[in-house]
Amino acid sequence: MKFFVDTADLDQIRELAETGLVDGVTTNPSLVAKAGGSFLDLIAEICRMVHGPVSAEVTATDHATMLAEGRKLAKIAPNVAVKVPLTPDGLKTCKTLTNEGVMVNVTLCFSAGQALLAAKAGATFISPFVGRLDDVGSFGMALIADILEIYNHYPMIATEVLVASVRGPQQVIEAAKLGAHIATMPPSVVHQLYRHPLTEKGLETFLADWEKTGQRILDSGEAAALAAGKNG
């Protein structure tokens, strides 16, 4: 499974990109507004940090303007994925951009029927919002299972299922078990995936036992050189 990070915060993207765990980035108008600054410049900088797809969302609702915005966004960098809403105009825009060789992320998907339409329109990614479905008493992961079942019946469908609106690590695990291609998550969820109380407890025990030996892997000179390099 590929991991995308759902944020427009450059510092958080840079930190996670350095781990090698980030395969792409998703943004939306709300995240961009929170980050502040020029939208186009922000997307360009994220594209320089991350080699994988970077979703940049159009803000228009009619086909002609969506298409103009999508083409402008696609010119920022080769790894821009233009994000369009799952509406008739959005799918029309998706088809046109896909035919022009642009990656397209169709967002705000809440049904398997919508996902099927997006695939027929040539979407690179379909973004079902599992967290928002859970919020209204539905089961978001059931939608992921339905979409994957449908897509798997048709080998000609190349659309990847990008699980969105992820609220916690368990949704990432459930999505992976179902075989979803991608999960996009806020940085906080990526950090939660690292953590387990037994890992922390085990590390504390190992370090305490090692301290009792009085040994060091790096001698004092090597440790000083390393510290100087970090500070420099």
Residues 223 and 161 in one domain: no
Range of the domain at 210: 205-231
Residues 127 and 227 in one domain: no
pLDDT digits (tens, 9 = 90+) for 5-36: 999 999 999 999 999 999 999 999 999 999 98
Whether residue 199 lies inside any domain: the answer is no
Highest mean pLDDT among 36-40, 92-96, 222-226: 92-96
Residues 32 and 124 in one domain: yes
Looking up residue 106, the CATH number of its domain turns out to be 3.20.20.70
Task: Please give the mean pLDDT across all residues of the chain.
Answer: 96
Q: How many domains does the chain have?
A: 2
d(CA 168, CA 34): 21
pLDDT digits (tens, 9 = 90+) for 79-125: 999 999 999 999 999 999 999 999 999 999 999 999 999 999 999 99
So which residues are the catalytic ones? Answer: 83
Residues 159 and 118 in one domain: yes
Residues 6+ apart with CB under 8 A from 170: none
- Inter-residue contact 57 to 87 (CB < 8 Å): no
What pTM did the predictor assign?
0.92
Residues 6+ apart with CB under 8 A from 147: 112, 115, 126, 128, 161
Residues 126 and 178 in one domain: yes
CB atoms within 10 A of CB 139: 11
Going by DSSP bridges, is the β-strand pair 80-85/125-128 parallel, antiparallel, or unpaired? unpaired
Whether residue 200 lies inside any domain: the answer is no
